[in-house]
A and B are shown apart, each in its own frame.
Chain A
């Protein structure tokens, strides 16, 4: 897996301007890359900027700093007329909110066919047979082909959107909470399907999710974000054993497991964070049990620990 990565983002930043003229940084200075055939799992607090990164890669929103490279091609600021050729032909995205992707009056079958035809994968005639096969792949009956999107359950919508995204065999597939509306049994089927396709077609995945076990089961590397910042990145195998950032540890502690009934104690966390726009110090400092005086004054830089394990925290002393 050498050569130019399929996706590389460098110091990517997105600031939204807020009333009163101040800026809100949804994403700040994030860098990572994903080689061909690999998957990067992106996890982190709700609202930490994961979907914003995905939306910048798919040109739904413009980056305010840094750069995005697809197969080495810098697409950060390209004219709109080049989007189809340089972005949409390579990248597919499964959105967090599947319903928004459908046209409300377009039946499921047509929705699937449109994707194939638009991207020149096949003719409309061939596409109608393919649509049926695609539904089977995601464990849906072909009786759904004539349904309107609002006549599907949440998980059925999500699977139709996944089917459309994989039908185009994109270089890069971004999955934003793509399996969160599925029951665990169907989810297992969809995850296996994704793994099989990746292997067969050397697809590259950016997999955003909240279920750490699910993300870990599919990703080679895991990047953890907090409040717009990437705070830790490591091989996914190492997540449970070697994670060191206090926020990553907090995440791991919070996972429920089946045997937990009545045992797990959830402490109520109280913190106030009304004017978080000042950028001095570590973003996690106000909630961190380890935080010392320097944490709220200075931003921790990246440190490289062993085995491609990168962390931003003053309290971690690694190899360097």
Chain B
């Protein structure tokens, strides 16, 4: 069943350039797609569109359908309900979306209370469970902290835990793991794959890490200057990329034994 359809979606901030330029793709339930591409190419812009949260000043064209329903036609209350339960988002920089003067536990509580009808105990069980899953085992300290008392990667993981905790049908991630060390990253990737396995969650993840994209996705999309320049099955995009830009990206990946950066300095 088709869960997401993005149709000729365009966004402009200045009326001249398209930050997203006629982007089209769709996802069936349970599929995982990763979007890679140039910094500034419109990846976050597209994700915000799917969430029904375009930046102030943005003018959009085209349509985004969620279960066949146009997001633009939803009321404010419908949108608020949709976010969290049907679609959840892990933001590129979770810290910016948190309230700096409220404890993490308090923010997690309000988030769950808004979407779930459950008691305090159940709420705390869920919080604990999901924080453990993203390897924040010292849950008591984390929940008692203000956002600035956590490291960058810990804040990011709180964001991941919150987004996963409602078992959304569609999970969007904007660079969800780039602030994490590789062991925690591997754990989070595994948890995301488990969501699909257990609940049939559909995932759309923006990442700069080509290897993570290759590992977890069924489809890869490549964006450059607002356009989705390539979209295909992961093996095909990695194995026989069609555009020069994709080739360049694959070529730029630095491997563990790579010495080319140091060589440039030696010249």
Nearest-CB residue, chain A, relative to B208? A183
Residues of A within 8 A of B212 (CB): 256
Shortest beta-carbon distance from A22 to chain B in Å: 10
Q: Which of A46, A192, A257 contacts B153 (CB 8 A)?
A: A46
Would B238 and A258 count as touching, CB distance under 8 A? yes
Nearest-CB residue, chain A, relative to B154? A47
Q: Which of A18, A213, A252, A273 contacts B255 (CB 8 A)?
A: A213
Would A96 and B254 count as touching, CB distance under 8 A? no
Would A195 and B262 count as touching, CB distance under 8 A? yes
Q: In the complex where A24-B141, A210-B185, A258-B211 touch, is A191 in contact with B39 (Cβ < 8 A)? A: no
Stretch with Cβ within 8 A of B (4 or more), from A112-120, A259-267, A297-305:
A259-267
Main secondary structure of the interface of B (DSSP, over half): helix
Please list 21 pairs of residues, one from A and one from B, whose beta carbons are closer than 8 Å in the complex, sorted by A's number.
A45-B183, A46-B151, A46-B179, A46-B180, A96-B152, A180-B178, A183-B37, A183-B208, A184-B208, A184-B253, A188-B261, A192-B261, A192-B265, A214-B254, A217-B258, A250-B183, A251-B181, A254-B185, A255-B256, A257-B211, A272-B132
Interface: A308 (CB within 8 A): no
Knowing that A183-B36, A217-B254, A240-B257 touch, tell me 7 more A-B residue pairs with CB under 8 angstroms.
Answer: A46-B179, A180-B208, A186-B39, A191-B261, A195-B265, A198-B265, A210-B182
Nearest-CB residue, chain B, relative to A260? B215
Stretch with Cβ within 8 A of B (4 or more), from A63-71, A77-85, A152-160, A312-320:
A152-160
Q: Which of B153, B250, B257 contacts A47 (CB 8 A)?
A: B153
Interface: A268 (CB within 8 A): yes
Count of chain A to chain B residue pairs whose CB atoms are closer than 8 Å in the complex: 193
Shortest beta-carbon distance from A117 to chain B in Å: 27
Give the distance in Å from the alpha carbon of A185 to the alpha carbon of B139 in the complex: 38
Residues of B within 8 A of A295 (CB): none
Would A196 and B265 count as touching, CB distance under 8 A? yes
Within 8 A of A (CB), among B173-205: 175, 178-187, 189-190
Interface: B40 (CB within 8 A): yes
Give the distance in Å from the alpha carbon of A273 to the alpha carbon of B141 in the complex: 11
